Amino acid sequence: MKLRHTGNNNRQTSIEMGDHNGVRYSGIEEGLPSSPTTDKSRKISLLPLIFLIFYEVSGGPFGVEDSVGAAGPLLALAGFLVFPFIWSVPEALITAEMGTMFPENGGYVVWVTAALGEYWGFQQGWMKWLSGVIDNALYPVLFLDYFKSVVPLVGHGYPRTIAVLVLTAGLTFLNYRGMTIVGRAAVLLGVVSILPFIVMGLLSIPRIEPSRWLVVDLHNVNWGLYLNTLFWNLNYWDSVSTLAGEVENPKKTLPKALSYALIFVVAAYFFPLLAGTGAIPLDRSQWSDGYFAEVAKIIGGTWLCWWVQGAAAMSNMGMFVAEMSSDSFQLLGMAERGMLPELFAKRSRHGTPLIGILFSASGVILLSWLSFEEIIAAENFLYCFGMILEFIAFVVMRIKQPNTPRPHKIPFGTVGAVLICIPPTILICVVLALASVKVMIVSLIAVSIGLVMHPALKYCEKKRWMKFSVSSNLPDLETEVHDNTQSLVQ
C-alpha cells in the first residue's frame, strides 16, 4: 500500500507500506501514526450511530404529511412501504459496502475519487455538500411551522428571521462541542420525538376505520410533490459515510447501524400515518407540513398536540445536528485528501471541523428563505446527480478491483452490483423529470459552479495562494485503477 506524505513543496511524495493495494486500509490498522480521531473517547458507538442515521434520513414522521395531501392515504401508506425497497435498501447496502471499504471521513467523495479520479470526486463532494446544506436549511423552517401555532409571532417577518438565526447558532455550537455530545443528543432527542406518536397510535385504535386507508383518486395526484416527499424522507443513507472516520470499529458497526436504522425509519413513518389517516375523516387540503399536531389534538386533545409540537422541535434539532455533522466532516475529509485548502482539515479542541461547521452553518442561513417545497425539490435534484456518480463508482470498483477485500459485500458479483442500481436509477430519472424549470435552472447553475471550482482551486494551489496537503494517514488512491477507469469519463 502507498501512503502519501505531504510537505509544503510536494504533494506526491509516497512511501511503501505492506502489500501494494491502493484501496486497502490494513496499514492504518498496523500502527500508523494516529490522528485525533483515534481517541476512543471521541468515537461513535452503535446506538448513537443508529440515531444519527435516523436523523440524517428521517427524524420521525414530521414532514410526511404532504404525501397524504398530494396523493391520498392509500398511495401515501403504500409509498412508505414500497419506496424503501426501491431506494433505501439499495442505498443502504451500497453505503455499507463502500463505507467499510473506505472507512474515512471523505465518505462518498473517496469512493468516487478512487473509481473516477479526483476531478469527479470533487464534483461529488460539491453537489452532496450543497444538497446537504439545502436540506439542513429546511429544519428551521419546519421547526417554526410547528412552533408558530404556539407563538404566532415567529410565523413571519423579522421575528421569524431572528428565530432562524438564533436556532442555527445554538445548534451549530452543539456540533462544535464534539461528536460524543452530538451522538448522545441524537439518542435523547430520538426517544423524545417518537414517544408521542406511540401514545397517539394507542389512543387512535378505537377511532380507526380501515376503509379510510383505501381512499385514492388517481386523477387528483400531485405526482411531483408526492415523489419528492417520499424521496426526501427516505434518502441520505450515504450521509453517514462521511463520519466513518469517527466511528468505533466502522467495518462492523456501520453495517449493523444501517440495518437497524432502516427498520426504525420505516416504522417511524408508516405507523403514525396509519394512525392519523385511519382515525380522522380525510381532508387532503389540511395535510401539509405541521398537520400532525392537529391530528394529535383531534385524537388525544390539546396536551397531545403540545407534546407533538415539542417532539417536532426536538426532531428538527436532531436532524440539524446530524446533517451538520455529516456536511462538516465531509469538508474535513476532502481537505485531508487535498481537494480543499488544509484549513478545512484543522480540528477544534473538541475534535470537530471548525471551518467546515462555519461554512455549513453559513449556507443554511443563506438558504433558509426558501419554501418547504422549493427546498426539497432543489436538494433532491442535486442529490440525484451525486447518487448517479455513486452508482457509477460502485460498479466501476466492482469491475476494476473485484478482489479487493470488502468487509460487507453485496452478493452476486458485478451482475448483482449492476442490478441493485437499476431501480434507484430509474427513480432518479423520474424525480429529475418532474422537477420544475426554476429548480432545474438553479440546480444546473449550482452544478456548473462545481465544474469550474476544482480547476480554480488547482490554480490557487499552483500559485501557492492557498495551502493544500494530503494526510499521511490515508491510503493513496492514485493507483492503476484510475488509469483503467479514466476512459469511462472522457
Domain ranges across the chain: 41-489
Sequence-ordered list of residues with C-beta below 8 angstroms from that of 74, at least 6 positions apart, any chain: 213, 214, 215, 216
Q: What is the mean pLDDT of the segment spanning 3-7?
A: 37
Higher per-residue confidence, 28 vs 50: 50
Amino acid 371: pLDDT: 62
Q: Rg for the chain (alpha carbons), in Å?
A: 22
Amino acid 36: pLDDT: 43
Q: What is the mean pLDDT of the segment spanning 102-122?
A: 92
Q: Which residue has the cell 401515501?
A: 76
How far apart, in whole angstroms, are the C-alpha atoms of residue 85 and residue 412? Answer: 18
Percent of the chain with pLDDT over 90: 40
Higher per-residue confidence, 284 vs 145: 284
72 and 223 in contact (C-beta within 8 Å)? no
Residue 34 has pLDDT above 50, yes or no: no
The string of pLDDT tens digits covering residues 397-416 is 999 888 888 888 888 888 88
Amino acid 396: pLDDT: 93
Amino acid 109: pLDDT: 94
Cell of 406: 470488502
> Where would I find the H helices in 352-436?
354-367, 372-400, 413-433
CATH number of 41-489: 1.20.1740.10
How far apart, in whole angstroms, are the C-alpha atoms of residue 237 and residue 220? Answer: 31
Q: What is the mean pLDDT of the segment spanning 256-265?
A: 95
Q: Which residues on neighbouring strands pair with residue 15, listed in sequence order? A: 3
At residue 392 the predicted structure's pLDDT band, cuts being 50, 70 and 90, is: very high
How far apart, in whole angstroms, are the C-alpha atoms of residue 476 and residue 21? Answer: 9
Q: Evaluate the CA torsion angle 161, 163, 166, 167 in order and state its sign.
A: negative
Higher per-residue confidence, 143 vs 311: 311
Task: Tell me what the pLDDT averaged over the chain comes to.
Answer: 82
Higher per-residue confidence, 40 vs 284: 284
Amino acid 369: pLDDT: 63
Q: What is the mean pLDDT of the segment spanning 59-74?
A: 90
Residue 41 has pLDDT above 60, yes or no: no
481 and 118 in contact (C-beta within 8 Å)? no
Higher per-residue confidence, 57 vs 30: 57
Higher per-residue confidence, 28 vs 368: 368
Amino acid 296: pLDDT: 94
DSSP state of 31: T
Higher per-residue confidence, 136 vs 30: 136
Q: What is the mean pLDDT of the segment spanning 73-80?
A: 95
Cell of 471: 494526510
The string of pLDDT tens digits covering residues 167-193 is 888 888 888 887 888 888 889 988 988
User: Around 79, how many Cα atoms within 13 Å sit in the side-chain half-sphere?
Assistant: 27
b/e string for 136-167 if b means 16 or more Cβ within 10 A?
bbbbbbbbbbbbbeeeeebeeeeebeebbeeb
Amino acid 84: pLDDT: 93
Sequence-ordered list of residues with C-beta below 8 angstroms from that of 335, at least 6 positions apart, any chain: 341, 342, 343, 344, 345
Q: What is the mean pLDDT of the segment spanning 325-337?
A: 91
The string of pLDDT tens digits covering residues 243-256 is 888 888 888 999 99
Residue 450 has pLDDT above 80, yes or no: yes
Amino acid 375: pLDDT: 66
At residue 427 the predicted structure's pLDDT band, cuts being 50, 70 and 90, is: confident
Amino acid 120: pLDDT: 95
b/e string for 413-434 if b means 16 or more Cβ within 10 A?
eeeebbebbeebbebbeebbeb
Cell of 418: 449492476
Q: What is the mean pLDDT of the segment spanning 373-387?
A: 77
Please tell me whether residue 16 adopts helix, strand or coil conformation.
Answer: strand
End-to-end CA distance of the chain: 27
The string of pLDDT tens digits covering residues 203-223 is 999 999 999 999 999 999 998
Percent of the chain with pLDDT over 70: 84
At residue 11 the predicted structure's pLDDT band, cuts being 50, 70 and 90, is: very low
The whole-model pTM stands at: 0.82
SS (HEC) of 142-179: HHHHHHCCCCHHHHCHHHHHHHHHHHHHHHHHHHHCCH
Higher per-residue confidence, 442 vs 205: 205
Residue 466 has pLDDT above 60, yes or no: yes
Q: What is the mean pLDDT of the segment spanning 280-288?
A: 91
